[in-house]
Amino acid sequence: MRCDYCYNKDIVFNKNGKYSFNELLSFLEKRVGLLDGVVLSGGEATSHNLIPFCSEVKKLGFKIKLDTNGTNFDQIKKLIELELIDYIALDYKAPSYKFKEITQSNQYEIFSKTLDLLIKSDIEFEIRTTVHNDLLNENDINIIISDLLKRGYHKTYYLQDFLLTSQNIGNISNPSKLFNKSLISKDLNVIWR
């Protein structure tokens, strides 16, 4: 994905990592008893084979949270089945009709399949959306809420304001208009971060 508001531009476009598998494990071994968990994020963490890494991290006793866009269904399913992930934060980027515009990808169906998997599984997870009012409006968010309810999602839905902290993929600035939070559906518990 190439979401305009993504602030991890350096990670998304970088072809090589800065640390090896063994360097990361060595770092974590020195922090056993000091840290409780590890967050796998990105870009998209599941663009890498996470199973061997997560297996080793779990052996060290850490909990693992995965931040994902949900576009690697097979790997996410396997991580859940192998009990290698303790918590997932799934980014619901946009309703189906705006998904390609927001993400520059045609992967809504895969995301949708992952969302259904999480709702039917026992894993702890959350759904979240980054809101930039020039990209997503109040109606778009209400359509996402409606979709979540139809799928059987009744947990908290997290919305996070776009924050202009550094250069982003789309070189976008702060929204030109304010988001009217009072227009958001009350049918689901919504928390702004």
Q: Give me the pLDDT at residue 120, please.
A: 96
Q: Give me the pLDDT at residue 139, please.
A: 97
Q: Is 67 within the bounds of a domain?
A: yes
Give the range among 67-81, 122-136, 168-182 with minimum mean pLDDT: 168-182
Q: Is 3 within the bounds of a domain?
A: no
Q: What is the mean pLDDT of residues 174-183?
A: 84
Q: Which of 183, 182, 193 is nearest to 157 (CA)?
A: 193
pLDDT, tens digit, 9 for 90 and up, residues 20-44: 888 999 999 999 999 999 999 877 8
Per-residue pLDDT band for 155 (boundaries 50, 70, 90) equals very high
pLDDT > 60? residue 1: no
Q: Which long-range contacts (CB under 8 A, 24 or more apart) does 111-115 make?
A: 111/69, 111/70, 111/71, 113/73, 114/68, 114/70, 114/71, 114/73, 114/76, 114/90, 115/70, 115/90, 115/151, 115/153
Q: Is 147 within the bounds of a domain?
A: yes
Q: Is 112 within the bounds of a domain?
A: yes
Q: What is the mean pLDDT of residues 157-175?
A: 72
Q: Is 2 within the bounds of a domain?
A: no
Which range of residues forms the domain containing residue 66? Answer: 9-13+21-192
pLDDT, tens digit, 9 for 90 and up, residues 65-114: 999 999 999 999 999 999 999 999 999 999 999 999 888 889 999 999 99
Q: Give me the pLDDT at residue 133, please.
A: 84
Q: Into how many domains does the chain fold?
A: 1
Q: Is 113 within the bounds of a domain?
A: yes
Average pLDDT over the chain reads 88
Q: What is the mean pLDDT of residues 2-9?
A: 52
Tokens of 71: 């576009």
CATH number of 127's domain = 3.20.20.70
Q: Is 1 within the bounds of a domain?
A: no
Helix 96-103 / helix 108-120 crossing angle, nearest 10 deg = 120
Q: Give me the pLDDT at residue 156, please.
A: 97
What is the maximum alpha-carbon separation in the chain? 49
Q: Is 182 within the bounds of a domain?
A: yes
